[in-house]
Amino acid sequence: MLVIAPHPDDEAIACSGTLLRHVASGDGVVVAIATDGRLAGAAPTPDQVAALRRDEAFAAARLLGVERLEWLGLPEGSWEEPELRTLLHDLLERYEPTVVYAPSRVDFHPEHLAVAHALARALGTLAVDAAARIRLRVYQVQVPLTPILANVVADVSSVLVESTAALCAYDSQLGSIEGVHRRRRYGALAHRMRGPVEEFWELTAQQYAELHCGSSVEWLGKFRGVRRFAWTDPLAYWLGNAERRRLQAAAARLATQRSAA
């Protein structure tokens, strides 16, 4: 299992419970963090912020029991797509993952969108047989996938304490992860499951690459995330539904075309 996180804390927000279940099942888990998170403003200087967030990422990785943390550490806000594409291509070839947990265009954060685009380009540089064995599981950070897109749901009730500990390792980012537990509860209600859940949109590498190969700038302004105050949460689940349905239909068309070929 390979997790691609745009920033330190995205992996914990998106899939910490699922990763704990993978580890408990004996699966190898590698987390790769693309940027250093230096723009978060959690310390007097950007370099200090980057060092703080790196320490938090390694602490969270230990709590999650992941096999390895790959700190790519590109400077947040000032990296170029070819550089990250090359780094991601190397990770995909080195670890040969069967499942990649990934950011996507169902988001509003420019850097999340840019990392998804770089990953799509990296997948496109793999040999056909290598790409064919990979499944992409798109995760949600602030923006919910909703049942329109979510087709894999993981009950994380058995690892809730451990997952919460990993989230709390990001002490400098606690304000940005307040909505995690609400999203998990909403997902459980939507899928008629008892415990808190993490939701994913599983795609083939080809589907992911084709849906994310365009310019990430064109994807801005489509969605709204779950924010600090719960009374605004319905907007995050309503705004962008037309785009969610469009993406779901596009993925289905790609699957049909592949079957026909």
In angstroms, the Cα distances linking 28 to 3, 20, 65, 203, 204 are 11, 11, 10, 20, 20
pLDDT at 88: 98
Q: Where are the domains of the chain?
A: 2-260
Residue pLDDT, tens place only, 156-177: 999 999 999 999 999 988 876 7
Query: According to the model, what pLDDT value does residue 177 have?
Result: 73
CA torsion angle 247 122 29 99 (round to 10): 40
Output the CA–CA distances (angstroms, integers) from residue 117 to 56, 225, 252, in the order listed.
26, 20, 20
pLDDT (tens digit per residue) in 105-132: 999 999 999 999 999 999 999 999 999 9
Q: What does pTM read for this prediction? A: 0.96
Q: What are the tens digits of pLDDT across the range 12-40?
A: 999 999 999 999 999 999 999 999 999 98
- Compute the average pLDDT of residues 50-56: 96
Helix and strand numbers, DSSP H then E, in the chain: 11, 7
Query: Would you place residue 7 in the very low, low, confident or very high pLDDT band (cuts 50, 70, 90)?
Result: very high
Tens-digit pLDDT profile for residues 184-222: 999 999 999 998 999 999 999 999 999 999 888 899 999
pLDDT score for 187 = 97
Q: How does strand 99-102 pair with strand 30-35?
A: unpaired
The amino acid occupying position 52 is L
Chain centroid offset of residue 187 CA? 16
Report the CATH fold assignment for 2-260. Answer: Rossmann fold (3.40.50)
- Residue 114 pLDDT: 97
The reported pLDDT for the residue numbered 261 is: 61
Q: What percent of the chain has pLDDT over 70?
A: 98
* pLDDT given for residue 198 in this prediction: 98
Q: What is the pLDDT of residues 68-119, one digit of tens each?
A: 999 999 999 999 999 999 999 999 999 999 999 999 999 999 999 999 999 9
